[in-house]
Amino acid sequence: KLPKHVTIKEVGPRDGLQNEIEMIQTKDKIEWIENLSKTGLSYIEVTSFVHPKWIPQLADAVDVLKGLKREESVTYAALVPNMRGLERALEANIDEVSVFMSASESHNKNNINKSIEETYPVLEEVVQAAKKEGKQVRGYLSTVIGCPYEGKIPVEQVVRITDRLLEMGIEEISLGDTIGVGVPTEVEALLSALLTRFNSNLFAMHFHDTRGTALANILQSLEMGLTKFDSSLGGLGGCPYAKGASGNVATEDLLYMLQGMGINTNIDMDALLNAAFFIEEKLGKQLNSKQMNIARK
């Protein structure tokens, strides 16, 4: 019943770094992403083309992408909030564009300064323009289980917004438990509702591990046929506009679980850990994934 192969989508250089105060030099980001490109990962979200005032850490997005030696086998993606972001992403020759919005009205407003209804045309314009340029388009839907301002989010709201996003021509939707409040029964309720209407291939799961439930939620998703998961090296990350949000599930901890279950990912654990220790040193603070802590001893 479990899948034989899972795709891990590394979001550390974007979701991880966007929440870090300590500025990482562009050349170090490039070296880190080049290391990540040689671990067997097939997808890396490398940066974000949001307003640099909102996320100063990623203001060097164009330079990071232009400086990168790319691997044929890797898709390099980035967040794009609007047409200004898309222009910058195209200048940097991005492979895949990720638009994003929230299932909760107040998180959407705090994160991208618009109501949900106002957001659709902005995303739609980006999706059409990106596809015209031959780019793949992914869409994030945040706060699909809980919102820091509104609490629990009704499943029907997620289904409704998903429908709109897919209608726009978005090829994959990453469902975000942005503040890591979800538990497996809630994941089951959400996915049951979505999978009666939409194919499971259309979804990736994006769990933050704020309360330690990410791996349990991933297991629940695997059992329901999901095969794509976002994670962040060293468990880096969070959303600066969602109070209390902590890092994504750590890539190496997810890899440990999948390997132990006999699920193939093509990713090399030692190479991954080397990349984790590289960025830990640049950040100047200890990262706390289980696998890093074991490797340290």
Residues that bind ligand HMG (CB under 6 A): 15, 18, 48-51, 54-55, 79, 81-82, 84-85, 88, 100, 111-113, 140, 142, 176, 178, 206, 208, 239, 241
In angstroms, the CA 236 to CA 243 distance is: 16
Partner in contact with 50, chosen from Mg ion, ligand HMG, none, beta carbon below 5 to 8 Å by kind? ligand HMG
Token pair, residue 196, equals 């009666």
**Residue 227: CB minimum distance to ligand HMG, A:** 19
Partner in contact with 48, chosen from Mg ion, ligand HMG, none, beta carbon below 5 to 8 Å by kind? ligand HMG
Picking from 207, 226, 225, the residue whose alpha carbon sits closest to that of residue 216 is 207
Kindly indicate which of the ranges 9-17, 65-73, 84-92, 165-173 contains the residues binding Mg ion, using the contact rule CB under 5 A.
9-17
What residue is closest to Mg ion based on CB? 15
CB-nearer residue toward Mg ion: 31 or 279: 279
* Helix-then-strand count for the chain, H and E: 11, 10
Partner in contact with 54, chosen from Mg ion, ligand HMG, none, beta carbon below 5 to 8 Å by kind? ligand HMG
Place of tokens 């949001």: 50
In angstroms, the CA 15 to CA 234 distance is: 12
DSSP label of 115: -
Q: Which of the residues are catalytic?
A: 239
In angstroms, the CA 78 to CA 272 distance is: 21
**Residue 179: CB minimum distance to ligand HMG, A:** 8
Place of tokens 């975000």: 176
Partner in contact with 198, chosen from Mg ion, ligand HMG, none, beta carbon below 5 to 8 Å by kind? none
Q: Which residues pair with 75 in a beta bridge?
A: 43
**Residue 15: CB minimum distance to Mg ion, A:** 4
Q: Which residues contact residue 205 at a Cβ distance below 8 angstroms, ignoring those fewer than 6 apart?
A: 174, 175, 177, 187, 217, 218, 221, 226, 228, 229, 230
**Residue 244: CB minimum distance to ligand HMG, A:** 13
Partner in contact with 82, chosen from ligand HMG, Mg ion, none, beta carbon below 5 to 8 Å by kind? ligand HMG
Based on the shown chain and the rule CB under 5 A, indicate whether residue 95 belongs to the binding site for Mg ion: no
Measure Cα distances from 18 to 14, 51, 100 in Å.
Answer: 6, 12, 15
Q: Measured between alpha carbons, how far apart are the two ends of the chain, in Å?
A: 36
Please pick, from the candidates 13, 14, 15, 181, the single residue that binds Mg ion as defined by CB under 5 A.
15
**Residue 226: CB minimum distance to Mg ion, A:** 17
Picking from 175, 218, 220, 226, the residue whose alpha carbon sits closest to that of residue 199 is 226
Residues 147, 111: contact at Cβ < 8 Å?
Answer: no
Q: Which residues bind Mg ion (CB under 5 A)?
A: 15
